[in-house]
Amino acid sequence: MIELKNIGFAYDKNAAPVLRGVSFRLADGQCASVLGNNGAGKSTLLKCIDRILRPQSGQVLIDGQDVFSLPANDMARQVAYVAQNARSSDLLVFDTVLLGRRPFIRWDVSEHDRQIVSALLERMKLTHLAMRPLSQLSGGEAQKVLLARALAQEPRLLLLDEPTSNLDPRNQHEVMQLVRQIAEERNICVITVLHDLNLAIRYSDRFLLLKDGGVYASGGAECMTPETIEAVYSMHVHILEHRGIPVIVPFPDVH
């Protein structure tokens, strides 16, 4: 269980808060999407959860334990974070993913660690790139490698900031399907920042819609209504269903 309690954050004590009283709960095995316009505080929220930023108020609890009380190594075993933009590196793909095992390595890399990496590369269809430097990959390929590194940590909570932004449509769906499957298989929580509402509504169990740094709506599929989406995004939409799959159709010119 992941719980956010009244998270408040401002980059400067004299500035307007970026986040105001954000609360949210997510059960094990569930995927949540954080939604909202640019500047709503979505990426800032993920950084507060991962301790990159420290909230001025509120708590982030994993199974009732405040993440800011955890030693660094324990935190790395609990939370994995994949940022928006893949960083260039000359490390080989295999070694990059192997870095995700660092919280578990005491003296040397074990065969078990290598097996975990190999299995992830195969599952994410990256095996053919294992001996390539990360810097030689496309943005989409590098993004998938960093996701594999995060999964190698075997975290309780996986944080993804726009993980599909550099991917083509097929890979977007493959990654979102994989993340959902792993959440269910490993009984972990996944919180994803997304701009694509159709990916969000198709692959998420829970939704957190932010507006002006606060929670406008949160909950399950019942909160993803045309009225809520229009209020958050200032854009008229229809929600249709095709073969049991919800599809959000925007009408940006309709007021």
Domain chopping of the chain, boundaries: 2-251
Q: Rounded to two decimals, what is the model's pTM?
A: 0.92
CA 133 to chain centre: 25
- Residue burial 4-24, b: 16+ Cβ < 10 Å; e: rest: bbebbbbeeeeeebbbbebeb
Can you tell me whether residue 94 is helix, strand or coil?
helix
Long-range contacts of 134-137 (CB under 8 A, 24+ apart): 134/86, 134/88, 134/89, 134/90, 134/91, 134/92, 134/93, 134/96, 135/88, 135/89, 135/90, 137/93
- Most confidently modeled range among 82-96, 102-116, 225-239, 240-254: 225-239
**Cα–Cα distances in Å, from 213 out to 84, 150, 223, 227, 229?**
19, 27, 18, 19, 16
CB count, 10 Å around CB of 167?
19
Beta strands 2-9 and 57-62, pairing class: antiparallel
Query: Mean per-residue pLDDT for 211-231?
Result: 95
pLDDT tens-digit readout, 52-110: 999 999 999 999 999 999 998 889 889 999 987 766 678 999 999 999 998 887 778 88
**Cα–Cα distances in Å, from 149 out to 46, 141, 161, 162?**
18, 13, 15, 16
The phi and psi torsions of 34 (rounded to 5 degrees) equal -100, 120
pLDDT tens-digit readout, 32-47: 999 999 989 999 999 9
Position 255 scores a pLDDT of: 60
Position 110 scores a pLDDT of: 85
Selected residue with higher pLDDT from 1 and 106:
1
Position 86 scores a pLDDT of: 63
Asked if the model's pLDDT at residue 121 lies above 80, the reply is yes
Asked if the model's pLDDT at residue 124 lies above 70, the reply is yes
Which DSSP symbol is given to 58?
E
pLDDT tens-digit readout, 142-200: 888 999 999 999 999 999 999 888 889 998 998 899 999 999 999 999 999 999 999 99
Can you tell me whether residue 16 is helix, strand or coil?
coil
CA 131, 134, 139, 142 torsion-angle sign: positive
State percent of the chain over pLDDT 70.
98
Retrieve residue 151's tokens: 């999964």
The phi and psi torsions of 23 (rounded to 5 degrees) equal -125, 145
Position 90 scores a pLDDT of: 84
CATH number assigned to the domain covering 2-251: 3.40.50.300
CA 5 to chain centre: 19
pLDDT tens-digit readout, 2-24: 999 999 999 987 778 999 999 99
Position 254 scores a pLDDT of: 65
Nearest residue to 199 (alpha-carbon basis) of 22, 27, 32: 32
